[in-house]
A and B are shown apart, each in its own frame.
Chain A
Amino acid sequence: MTTPLPTRRRLAPALTYLSLIVASLVVLVPLVVVFLTSLKTSGEVTDGGPLSLPDDWLNLDNYVTAFTDGKMLSAFFNTTVILLFSITGTVIIGSMTAYAIDRFDFRAKKPVMALFLIATLVPGVTTQVATFQVVNSFGLFNSLWAPILLYMGTDIVSIYIFLQFIRGIPVSLDEAARLDGANSLTIYWKIILPLLKPAIATVVIIKGITVYNDFYIPFLYMPSEDLGTISTALFRFKGPFGAHWEDISAGTILVIAPTLVVFLFLQRYIYNGFAQGATK
């Protein structure tokens, strides 16, 4: 083992780093170019190449345009409302289901489990043709409630995350509380829910990012101008801004920036959360 390293041994790490750097460039260059474009003036975009640098690094005019003409402010507001309601709903519904399934014994338990399991196999995109009619018949078309209810009602992954976690909470805690006279609702609210915190964190992160990024549901159910979410509002940049790439780029960066901030702060949770969510 003490023989001098052959060249191959020294070349291999260099090639490894080279491949990593190339991959990083492939990821970053398209994004950086859009960021640079968002700081340029209209003239700079038409005259200079896409890789040229902006003259004024603090030129935020395009961002102002994106906010005012692109209605990004109301889009961020709508997305926040949808996020708040659908995440709260998902956490409550998912944890209640997990509590009922894991802590009670009832005859229809297996059929109920099967009902949730089979639903995981149905891809949401395929059924929208018919879901649309259901949502429409409730008069929810073109309202924030359509996406909120759909995000809340069709999230089976989070039920599994809660189910997996709740099994690790000792039943003796429930029993002790019951002897003290607590009823099931109190046990769920005061004992189970607080102990589910790590699972709640995972669900909030996965659900939050999924809802923030979703395009299909708001596009289908909220075509009204005032009901844009960040996805649909950005999508509408395509028409009026035509070839104004500096404005489109500013809108794009505005949408990506919050994701980047959340990612930088919550990296560890995000990796674990998505690894858990995707393997369901």
Chain B
Amino acid sequence: MTDTTHTAPAKVPRSVAPARTPVPGGGHRDGSLLRRLTPWLFLAVPLALLITFTYVPVGNMIYYSFTDWDGVSPDRRFTGLDNYEQIFTRPELFRVFFVSFYYLAASAVQIAIALYFATVLSFDLRFRNLFKGILFFPYLINGVAIGFVFLYFFQDGGTLDSVLSWFGAGSDHAWLGDPRSANTSLAGVSVWRFTGLNFVLFLGAIQSIPGELYEAAQLDGATRLQQFRHIIAPSIRPVVSLSVILAISGSLSVFEIPYIMTGGATGTTTFVIQTVKLAFQFNKTGLASAAAVVLLLIILLITWIQRRLVPDEKVDLV
């Protein structure tokens, strides 16, 4: 994305051109002053919103993270690094990071499934569009609706139990009852919800490969597996690595599904649920801000690694 700034100078000549045309009416000086102000007239509102709702909060958040503010009272004490120390030393605060591993594992599954179906559906198949639509649709569904659909699905004697009993594997297992199976179930919901997006991204990348390549490969007697390895894999690598990075930062900032389905009970509290609870239920704005800063730093670090690993021009669509 950063290369947009590098390409900017190349366009200078054409945007300078109108400045040379004589300005009708008013003097030359007024015209150029107005011209210099014009971009700012267009940028005023967008910049004001950007600064108010992104940069001011980030700045405040960093400031709050060094205080013991409760979010309401007018006085706050500067406590130095105390909040950060708490996050990394109090096990009940730190533990939530481990929940991310369930979602990280789920994203690996998700990417694998998406790759498989994108490959399969890139070939001519009957009902191709129908299958594509079915696989993608969950991504568009409202998160609260998905939460309720799966609460019913995982209920005792619910859909999952009924389907399992058809196969003789009936159980009265409480799926959301203990931390391990609850987190696995919730991560499964996340696979159900997000596979469609990865699938459509991969499919788009595969379909942008020129058809002659496959024809040539087929003439040479290449199998589908060989076609995948030597034609498809290299051309979708950028979009796959982008998905991996998005999956990692996504696994760290999971909120909706566990919050709606379990409210963070039975060990399903994620980092963001904990931060939201600290800030808005326990009025620990200082501590919550420190937690948010830690998450922000981790995500920035991951993005930085991505930029180092994947050269920009390959992912860049701007």
Contacts and interface: CB of A to CB of B under 8 A. Distances in A.
Interface of A: 1, 12, 16-17, 19-20, 23-24, 26-31, 33-34, 37, 49-51, 93-94, 96-97, 99-106, 109-110, 112-117, 119-123, 125-134, 149-150, 152-154, 159-160, 163-164, 171, 174-175, 178-179, 181, 184, 188, 209, 212-213, 215-216, 220, 230-232, 234-235, 237, 245, 248-249, 251-252, 255-256, 259-260, 263, 267, 270-271, 274-276, 278-280
B99 to A, nearest CB: 15
Contact of B15 (A103, A116, A154, A279): A103
A97 B49 contact: no
A125 B57 contact: no
Contacts of B1: 117, 120, 160, 280
Interface in B37-95: 38-43, 45-47, 49-58, 60-61, 64, 71
Contact of A274 (B16, B40, B135, B200): B200
A129 B239 contact: no
Interface residues of B, number: 103
Given A50-B158, A96-B43, A116 B50 contact: yes
Interface stretch (B103-111, B173-181, B228-236, B248-256): B248-256
B201 A279 contact: yes
A129 B54 contact: no
Interface of B: 1-2, 4-5, 8, 11-12, 14-18, 21, 24, 36, 38-43, 45-47, 49-58, 60-61, 64, 71, 113, 116-117, 120-121, 125, 129, 131-145, 148-150, 152-153, 155, 157-159, 162-163, 192, 197, 200-201, 204, 221, 224, 239, 242, 246, 249, 253, 255-256, 260, 272, 275-276, 279-280, 285, 288-289, 292, 295-296, 299-300, 303, 315, 317-318
A262 to B, nearest CB: 8
A215 B50 CA distance: 21
Given A126-B272, A230-B142, A134 B200 contact: no
B21 A179 contact: yes
Given A184-B38, A231-B142, A245-B152, A51 B159 contact: yes
Contacts of A178: 18, 21
Contacts of B153: 30, 33
Given A122-B296, A184-B42, A280-B1, 18 more contacts: A29-B163, A96-B42, A104-B15, A109-B8, A112-B43, A117-B5, A126-B272, A126-B295, A127-B57, A128-B279, A130-B60, A132-B280, A175-B18, A184-B41, A213-B141, A234-B145, A279-B201, A279-B239
26 contacts: A1-B221, A19-B117, A27-B134, A27-B137, A27-B192, A29-B159, A34-B149, A113-B5, A117-B1, A125-B272, A127-B292, A129-B276, A132-B279, A154-B49, A179-B21, A184-B38, A184-B42, A213-B141, A215-B260, A216-B255, A249-B148, A259-B141, A274-B200, A275-B201, A280-B1, A280-B317
Contacts of B18: 174-175, 178
Contacts of A130: 56-58, 60-61, 64, 289, 292
A115 B4 CA distance: 13
A134 B71 CA distance: 11
A154 B55 CA distance: 10
A207 B200 CA distance: 18
Nearest to B300: A121
A249 B152 contact: yes
A12 to B, nearest CB: 8
Contact of B56 (A51, A134, A231): A134
Contacts of B24: 181
A32 B101 CA distance: 31
Nearest to B139: A274
Contacts of A26: 192
Nearest to B126: A17
A260 B139 CA distance: 11
A132 to B, nearest CB: 7
A159 B149 CA distance: 34
Contacts of A245: 152
B77 to A, nearest CB: 17
Contacts of A216: 255-256
B150 A117 contact: no
A279 B242 CA distance: 8
A109 B256 CA distance: 37
A105 B11 CA distance: 9
A51 B159 CA distance: 7
Contact of A215 (B49, B135, B256, B299): B256
Nearest to A94: B46
A119 B318 contact: no
B200 A24 contact: no
A265 B255 CA distance: 30
Nearest to B242: A279
Contacts of B295: 123, 126
Given A27-B135, A126-B272, A93 B45 contact: yes
A235 B201 contact: no
Contacts of A127: 54, 57-58, 61, 292, 296
Contacts of A150: 53
A24 B64 CA distance: 48
Given A259-B140, A263-B140, A125 B145 contact: no
Pick from B14, B18, B116 the residue with the most CB of A within 10 Å: B18
